[in-house]
Structure 1
Amino acid sequence: MAETEFTNTPRLPAETGQLQVRLMEERTRRPIGGAQIHITYEGEPDGEERDAVTDESGMTEIITLPAPNRDYSTSISEQQPYAEYTIRVNADGYEPTEVAGTEILPDETAIQEILMKRSVQTGEFDRIVIGPHTLFGNYPPKIAESEIKPMTESGEIVLSRVVIPEYVIVHDGAPSDSSARNYWVRYRDYIKNVASSEIYATWTDAAIRANVLAIMSFVLNRVYTEWYRNRGYDFTITSSTAFDQKWIYGRNIYQNISNIVDEVFGNYLSRPNVKQPILTQYCDGRQVSCPGWMTQWGSQSLGEQGYSTIEILRYYYGESIYINTAVEISGVPSSWPGYDLSVGSSGSKVLQMQEQLNVIAEAYPALPRVDTDGIYGPATQAAVEKFQSIFGLPVTGIVDYRTWYKISEIYVGVSRIAELR
């Protein structure tokens, strides 16, 4: 997509980041095209403003926006490392919506997904306020727990193997807060939200991956042990940093974090002879110290020194920690074949992928339909490339692990749309 820029102004930050707004209907998750988007910079009341319109896939063009100096987010600084923007949305047939606090980091693409509510002629205005990032704001420190839950307690371990869930139920508050709302969140969306809330997308690839793996292993421990359900609660995990991880309703994510999560979401951290995913606790390492746990700023420092992902993890969690792979992924029609699909491939897996792309095209008309012949030819490649472009994946025309599961994810979503209709 084409990029557009704000006019330079001396009062705004000198560096730039990118933003793409994506709109979907709340109930059906159908993309919303033709919506009017108005963006304003929160740090300067008289600053530049920007307007955009969503396309038939519910997406704006990529918009270039002023952002703070990159050094503020790659090393510890007292300066706010991200610029905050307010996004106003008006779409025919939907309630006007405003998101305040979308965070733009330099040199990274922020994705702001907004779920729109159907208008019921009440004149209501839906407003979402994104709280501060955990590395910049003040949040309660994690209450220490054992990284491996005892398996002798009756009824605590209810799963015989590690399964990647389709959804987690997030309690948006402390466990005992009965007024807090529960949200059903797709597992990968949950991980992307937490990672975007707790680390910076400007960090080294190795540091981001180490933190993403720790985040995933933590929540999978909660899933595997049924930690909260065995205590009488009806949710999987909370958004309280004192008990779990920070999930922020409605916040933006970052494209590079999203791509990493799509690549590794089937993994978690293990120790020898331990079935359950390790409850990988961590802290920021600046406002809070946590000996024996990973520190987020420390992981970034090690990444800048050239440490690999596994070296960062073993530096903090010990040499026995290793990356494991779940035996099952819930909510998908079938698993990845174990090899890439590309031009020249054929067979049932190609056929299944073609059928799924055609179903997706019903909700995303920019996606071309293909012949369902089980042969991966140029037309199928073009459809895959368009799919990858729409959903922010590297445009290769090859169905690798993350493209396969992204097709599966969107296919399941639009299939449910058809059922609702």
Structure 2
Amino acid sequence: MNRASQRLSAIQPSATLAVDAKAKALQAAGENVIGFGAGEPDFPTPAHIVEAAQAACADPKNHKYSPAGGLPEMKDAIVAKTLRDSGFECEPSQVLVTNGGKHAVYTAFAALCDPGDEVICPAPYWTTYPEAITLAGGVPVVIDTDVEAGFKVTIEQLDEAKTSRTKVLLFVSPDNPSGAIYSPGEVKAIGEWAVENGVWVITDEIYEHLVYGANEFSSMPVLVPDLADQCLIVNGVAKTYAMTGWRVGWMIGPKDIIGVSTSFQSHATSNVANVAQRAAIAALNGGLDDVHMMREAFTRRATLIHGLLGDIDGVVCPEPQGAFYAFPDLRGLLGRSYGGVEATSTLELADIVLDQARVAIVPGEAFGTPGYARFSFALGDADIEEGIARFAALVSG
């Protein structure tokens, strides 16, 4: 008999964190592993943000409980930042500060889903989404996309997926893991579909500033103002400001949903750490110069990894449009043996690549898209070149 609850026992471990942990274990044992698995910037948190946290540590007011929904100054900073960056206007009462963007995602589904409610979830998807939906009592309804479709869902697919139980559409652009970005016209059309069909939208905007070339980030409730009353925005400081470990995210939405979500958080976690909030305030109020520097580096790396992967026979790699991931089609590499070990799936191929080439990638099975793999390019240019060279040598040998 299972001693743990069925609800928690059904959770699948994070595949991205599992790959990263295995790679780090090998590194700790002295192995030279190049990791394309982690979804976090390789830059340190900018100095002015760290200095704000250091000052906050010394201030006794940050040693006490604070409002469960977030410091007033933090909410004000989120309101100003959101208007500045996406053009969406909101009030502090529409904001909940959460323990990282991941907690905002879970809270959003928990606030909207009753048992049996369906959530349309396009694949490839970030590994946490289906688990958060299920934990909230919802039912993930996966829509498959592929490289030929640019990893983007169509209105026709949404129509086919919608049932009388459909409550929410999950929308992510720029996308993790594919790096795909919906054009403003596509975003507007999907938002209008949601309004016409009475479907809530949870839009994850965590990668809003990591956009390359002529691609453009668009916030759905800005393009479709009528959607605002049935839309939740989730975001955070992790990717934009290289603050993955600080654990500060937020959720923006109608006041009634933010109200019940704040009550939930008051019992689940209470306030986000005050020092981390003070650091996040400095990040949001401090301008985007550091963000632009990091984006320039990611733009260069996107071009580099796209070219290197595209040169490998059997690999089809679309150009990354946003985030910091390449998501190549590796189906042309399957059905072969490498070092005497056969790879019939990208799950098996990823194990072979780590074991034999000491290169860590995340197989597409983790994102609901077998046959593909995610390569994070949030690492130095030299490591990208060396890692892809090792991968190429293995699969081309």
Q: Say whether the fold is shared (TM-score over 0.5).
A: no
TM-score after normalising by structure 1: 0.25
Normalized per residue, the structure richer in helix is 2
Higher relative contact order (CA 8 A, sep 6+): 2
TM-score after normalising by structure 2: 0.26
Normalized per residue, the structure richer in strand is 1
